[in-house]
């Protein structure tokens, strides 16, 4: 684990978990239940789950970022043994559950992306609003940071990253400018370069910072976010099926949401189990709970503007009988 200094632990998050009530409902949270918070972050959703059951359920909280986990530990101290914390990647969810003897959970939450701590705290290199080393690693023990991606990736590959993970229409122009100005060491240098390269600055209609999509793309590449999301979605049915557990996923941009939506749609049926023909050779894994994506209410968005792009999708695992596997 990386050393976490006192000022990081003392950091007071201005943090409200997104769509907390909808998450509780989605997971059908109940006393004596066992839940996995696969992206525990600052523990906002875990706290809500524990409070909703009067601390009578257990939550296994996973996060890949050791610094975030230290803060969650402090914030959730009051719940004692009801919280089990594990540092690791959610793609290792099965081995983490085995290690903690956390078998047959009733529900799993994934609240994707980065936490407000990672975005706002000095030295993490996620934000174009600060001037610091281009890092963006959720786990600072990982070997590849944004610095390496920006300074070592060939132009075409860099343009592809910015296009694929940022859906940035000026990806080629931005990649060319990056190549011509390397080395680029800080978030401010990158943000200014993107701003000066694109025409966005001239448009008063532009609501987001010109570098938003480029930063999103680099962050996704550094942390391999989309591939890891696909991987975990393929793993969790077998974990949840024993108790017909619920899967709830909150995403913050269309790339993530599309992956979640397609995974559930491609592996589910809207019909109840009994109605499926036994002759069918493929058996649905998920019962799709909400066909339409769940969004935060206008009230929530006004109180917590960060929630405005959140999308929640929910599915319930269907048990597959042994002879059908």
Ligand X SMILES: C[S@@+](CC[C@H](N)C(=O)[O-])C[C@H]1O[C@@H](n2cnc3c(N)ncnc32)[C@H](O)[C@@H]1O
As measured in angstroms, the least distance from the Cβ of 161 to ligand X is 18
Whether residue 183 is preceded by a cis peptide bond, meaning omega within 30 degrees of 0, is yes
d(CA 116, CA 14): 8
Report CA torsion sign: 180, 186, 190, 195: negative
Pick 43 or 245: Cβ nearer ligand X: 43
Pick 113 or 284: Cβ nearer ligand X: 113
Pick 49 or 177: Cβ nearer ligand X: 49
DSSP character at residue 82 = G
Measure the CA angle with vertex 155, ends 151 and 161; round to 5°: 85
As measured in angstroms, the least distance from the Cβ of 127 to ligand X is 15
d(CA 167, CA 51): 39
78-110 b/e with 16+ CB inside 10 Å = b?
ebeebbbbbbbbbbbbeebbeeeebeebbbbbb
As measured in angstroms, the least distance from the Cβ of 176 to ligand X is 31
As measured in angstroms, the least distance from the Cβ of 211 to ligand X is 21
Query: What is the pairing mode between strands 311-317 and 286-288?
Result: antiparallel
83's CB contacts (< 8 A; 6+ apart) are 43, 46, 50, 58, 59, 61, 76
**Which residues contact ligand X (rule: CB under 6 A)?**
15, 17, 39, 41-45, 62-65, 68, 89-90, 111, 113-115, 138, 228
As measured in angstroms, the least distance from the Cβ of 300 to ligand X is 14
As measured in angstroms, the least distance from the Cβ of 113 to ligand X is 5
Pick 48 or 293: Cβ nearer ligand X: 48
Pick 38 or 284: Cβ nearer ligand X: 38
As measured in angstroms, the least distance from the Cβ of 131 to ligand X is 23
d(CA 292, CA 313): 8
Pick 103 or 235: Cβ nearer ligand X: 235
Pick 97 or 178: Cβ nearer ligand X: 97
Is the CB of residue 249 less than 8 Å from the CB of residue 232?
no
């Amino acid at each position: 684990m990386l050393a976490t200094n006192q000022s990081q632990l003392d950091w007071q998050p201005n943090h409200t978990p997104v769509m907390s009530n909808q998450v509780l409902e989605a997971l059908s949270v109940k006393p004596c239940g066992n839940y996995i918070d696969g992206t525990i972050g600052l523990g906002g959703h875990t706290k809500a789950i524990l409070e909703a059951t009067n601390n009578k359920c257990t939550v296994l909280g996973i996060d890949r970022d050791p610094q975030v986990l230290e803060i969650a530990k402090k914030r959730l101290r009051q719940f004692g043994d009801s919280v089990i914390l594990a540092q690791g990647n959610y793609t290792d969810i099965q081995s983490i559950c085995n290690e903690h003897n956390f078998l047959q959970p009733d529900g799993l939450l994934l609240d994707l992306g980065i936490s407000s701590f990672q975005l706002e705290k000095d030295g993490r290199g996620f934000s174009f609003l600060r001037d610091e080393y281009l890092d963006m690693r959720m786990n600072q023990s990982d070997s590849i940071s944004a610095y390496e991606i920006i300074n070592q990736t060939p132009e075409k590959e860099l343009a592809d990253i910015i296009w694929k993970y940022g859906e940035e229409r000026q990806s080629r122009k931005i990649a060319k400018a990056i190549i011509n100005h390397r080395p680029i060491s800080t978030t401010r240098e990158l943000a200014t370069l993107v701003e000066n390269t694109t025409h966005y600055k001239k448009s008063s209609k532009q609501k987001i910072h010109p570098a938003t999509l480029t930063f999103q793309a680099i962050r996704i590449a550094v942390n391999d976010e989309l591939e890891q999301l696909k991987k975990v979605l393929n793993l969790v049915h077998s974990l949840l099926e024993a108790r017909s557990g619920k899967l709830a996923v909150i995403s913050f941009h269309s790339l993530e949401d599309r992956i979640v939506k397609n995974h559930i749609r491609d592996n589910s049926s809207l019909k109840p189990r009994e109605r499926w023909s036994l002759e069918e050779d493929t058996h649905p894994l998920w019962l799709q709970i909400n066909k339409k994506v769940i969004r935060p209410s206008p009230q929530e968005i006004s109180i917590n503007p960060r929630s405005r792009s959140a999308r929640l999708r929910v599915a319930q695992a269907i048990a597959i009988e042994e002879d059908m596997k």
